[in-house]
Amino acid sequence: MSRLNWRKSTFSEEASSCVYVGATGNGKVRLRESDEPDVILTTTPAALRALIRGAKAGDLDRFQ
């Protein structure tokens, strides 16, 4: 895998787990957490936008 330019979420704090996002050259988006950097999720920008919209709307507040 080519080296990505990872960006840290602005909501991540220095002493806590951080979420990073990196764009690939083929239109995909990769996500990882600082506490498990070898686990990388791959998705599309549209799917990531939908996830963020749902989280902001409170759709993910309760898992059943």
Model confidence pLDDT, tens digit, residues 9-48? 777 766 567 889 998 888 999 999 888 889 999 999 999 9
> Per-residue confidence at 49, pLDDT binned at 50, 70, 90?
very high
- Position 64 in a domain: no
- Position 14 in a domain: yes
- Position 2 in a domain: no
Pair of tokens at residue 46 = 């549209």
Range of the domain at 22: 7-56
Output 40 or 63, whichever has higher pLDDT: 40
CB 32 within 8 A of CB 26: no
Domains contained in the chain, number: 1
> Per-residue confidence at 62, pLDDT binned at 50, 70, 90?
confident
**pLDDT of 53 above 70:** yes
- Position 48 in a domain: yes
